């Protein structure tokens, strides 16, 4: 077994081109001629893998002083399951002795049709001595896990390498992020990704509350209980607030939001891990234009409580009450600032009373119905800090008509179009 450096003019480069098309899906593949189009680019190399003098595969490696970043690695179909791949990786270790070799593989995703293939590839790299780094990247419409040949992965050094590559190849612009628990990227359009998990996901209520809030580009906003961050990320699609603090008491929720911010290149979102009852150091007291909250719908001890602690916190008011939400919002809002909340209709009296007690006068109410024949399943309520009493009840919001989304409901998912 040996590695040979190839050029675009080498006859075996045609074999590498064909293997590149066979081995990688279109959304992850860049044609070899495009990769090596710049003759002045010397840090990117194409290495052929040879067994008994015959072409058996190829590697595309980005070289730096500290790293060998394995961008593409493929073994010819006739040479697979014969130890050629593991032998090639061993040769790479020898070839790049003294450098950290970083490989990427498609991240595990139980929803992916090729999940078994993803798990086999990951297991292959682990068998070959590569180690988990805990870091992931999203680009080219796919999520990748980073593995390293060394246990002490040099993350700052790798960040510098990514920045160097981006300067040369602008379309390559991933941001590494951590994933402490299984997460799945959910695209919501316009290049925005929300990372969901079993603990923190999103539903129609987030779209309804975002639209109901009528947020403005000039707003300084705060969201309580951000969960996966769907509301601040959804706002990035059209005229986002100049800044929005997205608060959650759970670290795993903040990690999901942080991953979404990184993958979406979202500016103006500030993740905050804190308890809304105490807020956080540096909170914009008396400065916020808008506070939003999609609070736990059930009071403690009601209904069936999830066994998972994260789900109990998100679904049942074990860490906050309507009074907690409204009093915390009142501390943040400036006079005339607005608090927007959604919840189940049976809890509407609790929030009307809590808002008024906290000095946020209820001003606008809308009930959401599945269809015209059904009772409301959600309320949307706006209070205004320091306002005079006067409640406007808006026409009901109907989700479905004749089994289809109404025009208003469909517009929730298309930026109002």
Topology classification of domain 2-178: Aminopeptidase (3.40.630)
- pLDDT class of 177 with cuts at 50, 70, 90: confident
What is the arithmetic mean of pLDDT over 74-97? 95
> In sequence order, what DSSP letters do the residues of 275-308 get, joined into one string?
-TTT--TT--TTTEEEEEE---SB-TTSSPPPSS
Is pLDDT above 90 for 301?
A: no
What CA–CA distances, in Å, run from 64 to 148, 161, 341? Answer: 15, 8, 51
273 contact partners, CB below 8 Å, separation of at least 6: 247, 248, 249, 250, 251, 254
Report how far residue 88's alpha carbon sits from residue 352's, in angstroms, rounded to the nearest whole number. 67
Of the chain, the end-to-end C-alpha distance in Å amounts to 59
More confident call, 68 vs 108:
68
What CA–CA distances, in Å, run from 306 to 183, 253, 314, 319? Answer: 19, 17, 10, 15
Is pLDDT above 80 for 276?
A: yes
For 392, phi and psi rounded to 5 degrees?
-100, 125
- pLDDT class of 52 with cuts at 50, 70, 90: very high
Q: What percent of the chain has pLDDT over 90?
A: 68
Report the pLDDT value the prediction gives residue 313, as an integer from 0 to 100: 42
Report the pLDDT value the prediction gives residue 65, as an integer from 0 to 100: 93
Q: Check: CB of residue 60 under 8 Å from CB of residue 45.
A: yes
Each residue's pLDDT tens digit, 348-357: 999 999 999 9
Residue spans of beta strands (DSSP E) within 150-207:
177-178, 184-187, 193-196
Residue 415 backbone class (left: φ over 0; alpha: ψ -120 to 50; beta: rest):
left
Report the pLDDT value the prediction gives residue 319, as an integer from 0 to 100: 61
Query: pTM here?
Result: 0.68
What is the arithmetic mean of pLDDT over 151-170? 90
List the domain boundaries for the chain: 2-178, 184-412
Report the pLDDT value the prediction gives residue 298, as an integer from 0 to 100: 55
Residue 123 backbone class (left: φ over 0; alpha: ψ -120 to 50; beta: rest):
alpha
What is the arithmetic mean of pLDDT over 88-113? 91
Report the pLDDT value the prediction gives residue 316, as an integer from 0 to 100: 39
DSSP state of 388: P
For 19, phi and psi rounded to 5 degrees?
-65, -40
Is pLDDT above 50 for 302?
A: no
156 contact partners, CB below 8 Å, separation of at least 6: none
Q: Helices 322-332 & 348-357, crossing angle to 10 degrees? A: 40
Is pLDDT above 50 for 171?
A: yes
Residue 247 burial by Cβ neighbours in a 10 Å radius (0-12, 13-18, 19+) = buried
Tokens standing for residue 25: 């899906």
Among 230-244, 294-308, 385-399, the minimum mean pLDDT is found in 294-308
- pLDDT class of 417 with cuts at 50, 70, 90: low
Is pLDDT above 70 for 369?
A: yes
Tokens standing for residue 382: 């706006």
More confident call, 112 vs 361:
361
Is pLDDT above 50 for 305?
A: no
What is the arithmetic mean of pLDDT over 262-285? 93
What is the arithmetic mean of pLDDT over 77-97? 95
Q: What percent of the chain has pLDDT over 70?
A: 93
Is pLDDT above 50 for 106?
A: yes
Report the pLDDT value the prediction gives residue 38, as an integer from 0 to 100: 85
For 20, phi and psi rounded to 5 degrees?
-60, -45
Each residue's pLDDT tens digit, 309-350: 444 444 434 468 999 999 999 999 999 999 999 999 999 999
Average pLDDT taken over every residue of the chain: 90
Topology classification of domain 184-412: Rossmann fold (3.40.50)
What CA–CA distances, in Å, run from 78 to 30, 49, 157? Answer: 23, 13, 37
Report the pLDDT value the prediction gives residue 91, as an integer from 0 to 100: 96
């Amino acid at each position: 077994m040996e590695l040979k450096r190839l050029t675009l003019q080498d006859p075996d480069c045609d074999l590498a081109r064909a293997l590149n098309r066979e081995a990688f899906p279109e959304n992850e593949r860049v044609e070899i001629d495009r990769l090596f189009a710049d003759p002045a680019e010397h840090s990117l190399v194409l290495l052929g893998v040879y067994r008994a003098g015959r072409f058996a595969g190829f590697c595309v490696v980005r070289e730096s002083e500290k790293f060998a970043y394995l961008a593409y690695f493929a073994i010819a179909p006739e040479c697979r399951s014969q130890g050629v791949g593991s032998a090639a990786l061993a040769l790479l270790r020898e070839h790049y002795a003294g450098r950290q070799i970083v490989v990427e593989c498609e991240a595990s995703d139980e929803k992916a049709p090729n999940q078994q293939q993803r798990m086999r590839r990951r297991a292959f790299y682990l068998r070959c001595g590569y180690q988990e780094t805990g870091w992931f990247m999203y680009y080219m419409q796919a999520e990748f896990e980073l593995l390293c040949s060394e246990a002490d992965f040099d993350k700052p050094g790798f960040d510098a390498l990514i920045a160097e590559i981006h300067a040369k190849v602008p379309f390559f612009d991933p941001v590494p992020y951590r994933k402490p628990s299984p997460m799945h990227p959910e695209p919501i359009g316009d290049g925005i990704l929300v990372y969901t998990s079993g603990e923190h996901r999103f539903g129609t209520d987030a779209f309804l509350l975002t639209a109901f809030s009528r947020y403005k580009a000039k707003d300084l906003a705060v969201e309580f209980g951000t969960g996966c961050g769907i509301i601040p990320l959804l706002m990035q699609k059209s005229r986002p607030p100049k800044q929005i603090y997205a608060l959650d008491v759970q670290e795993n929720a903040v990690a999901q939001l942080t991953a979404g911010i990184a993958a979406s290149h979202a500016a103006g979102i500030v993740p905050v891990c804190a308890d809304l009852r105490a807020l956080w150091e540096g909170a914009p007291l008396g400065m916020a234009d808008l506070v939003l909250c999609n609070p736990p719908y059930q009071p403690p001890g009601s209904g069936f409580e999830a066994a998972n602690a994260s789900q109990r916190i998100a679904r049942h008011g074990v860490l906050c009450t309507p009074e907690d939400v409204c009093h915390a919002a009142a501390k943040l809002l400036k006079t005339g600032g607005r608090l927007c909340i959604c919840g189940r209709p049976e809890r509407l009296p609790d929030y009307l009373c809590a808002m008024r007690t906290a000095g946020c006068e209820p001003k606008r109410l809308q009930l959401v119905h599945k269809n015209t024949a059904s009772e409301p399943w959600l309320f949307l309520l706006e209070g205004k800090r320091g306002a005079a009493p006067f409640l406007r009840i808006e026409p009901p919001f109907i989700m479905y008509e004749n089994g289809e989304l109404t025009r208003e409901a469909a517009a929730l998912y298309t930026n109002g179009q």
